[in-house]
């Protein structure tokens, strides 16, 4: 059993299988679960009463096996490849590939019909990186599978990878162009949000655009910040 990253709607269901299956994640995700998991549970409880009820009494899953960059599972002759991508949507993102079925599970690196979720909450959480996320998407799109299972939204094909890559690339270019021209971050966010809504009027998650701009503005100021 594995999860793509530590956020509650992805990782907390693992407790259901505690004692019945081996829970396997990469080192960065294990560290995120331990250090940031409790805070994210409390934050999610504040989203609504319905979410709070679902999270009542929840326990953080504890990994049984922690790997470094890669791990291959043999499920009775079917190989499942677990690959840590490095910091992107979170510090411990992982993709899961099933080569013989040509399927890739991406977690929140990819969403269908939704603007990329940027959990940019300074000073509490600034692990998301627009630049490293774009680099991950460029690698994934260069060797696309037939089927992509996103973190949220409908299952699709390789075009989902290209959609996210192109969005992040345009987001970076438009943000940095304005910052190079000394446009304020507030104006930059407003102009880019208007542009993205014009290009993708049917996409949901528009509230994440400003977070993405703020993240990329920070990376524009410190493009070589440490991992």
pLDDT digit string, tens, across residues 135-152: 999 999 999 999 999 999
Q: Confirm whether 169 is domain-assigned.
A: yes
Q: Confirm whether 164 is domain-assigned.
A: yes
115 plus 207 within the same structural domain? yes
pTM here is 0.92
Domain count, the chain: 2
Residue range(s) defining the domain that contains residue 7: 1-73
Mean pLDDT of 22-51: 92
68 plus 120 within the same structural domain? no
> Above 80 in pLDDT, residue 223?
no
Q: Confirm whether 220 is domain-assigned.
A: yes
Q: Confirm whether 9 is domain-assigned.
A: yes
136 plus 35 within the same structural domain? no
> Above 90 in pLDDT, residue 112?
yes
Residue 26 has which token pair?
């990469």
> Above 60 in pLDDT, residue 38?
yes
Instruction: Indicate the residue among 53, 73, 93 that finishes a domain.
Output: 73
């Amino acid at each position: 059993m594995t999860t793509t990253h530590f956020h509650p709607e992805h990782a907390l269901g693992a407790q259901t299988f505690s004692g019945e299956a081996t829970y396997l994640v990469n080192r960065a995700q294990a560290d995120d679960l331990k250090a940031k998991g409790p805070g994210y549970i409390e934050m999610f409880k504040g989203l609504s009463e319905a979410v709070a009820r679902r999270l009542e009494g929840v326990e953080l899953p504890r990994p049984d096996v922690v790997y470094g960059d890669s791990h291959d599972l043999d499920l009775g002759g079917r190989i499942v490849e677990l690959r840590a991508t490095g910091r992107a949507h979170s510090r411990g993102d992982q993709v899961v590939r099933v080569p013989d079925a040509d399927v890739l599970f991406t977690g929140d690196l990819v969403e269908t019909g939704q603007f990329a979720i940027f959990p940019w909450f300074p000073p509490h959480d600034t692990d998301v990186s627009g630049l490293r996320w774009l680099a991950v998407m460029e690698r994934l799109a260069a060797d696309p599978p037939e089927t992509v299972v996103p973190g949220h939204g409908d299952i699709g094909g390789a075009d989902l990878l290209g959609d996210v890559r192109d969005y992040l690339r345009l987001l970076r270019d438009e943000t940095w162009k304005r910052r190079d021209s000394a446009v304020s971050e507030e104006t930059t966010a407003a102009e880019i949000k208007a542009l993205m809504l014009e290009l993708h009027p049917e996409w949901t998650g528009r509230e994440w655009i400003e977070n993405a701009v703020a993240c990329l503005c920070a990376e524009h100021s410190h493009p070589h910040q440490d991992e």
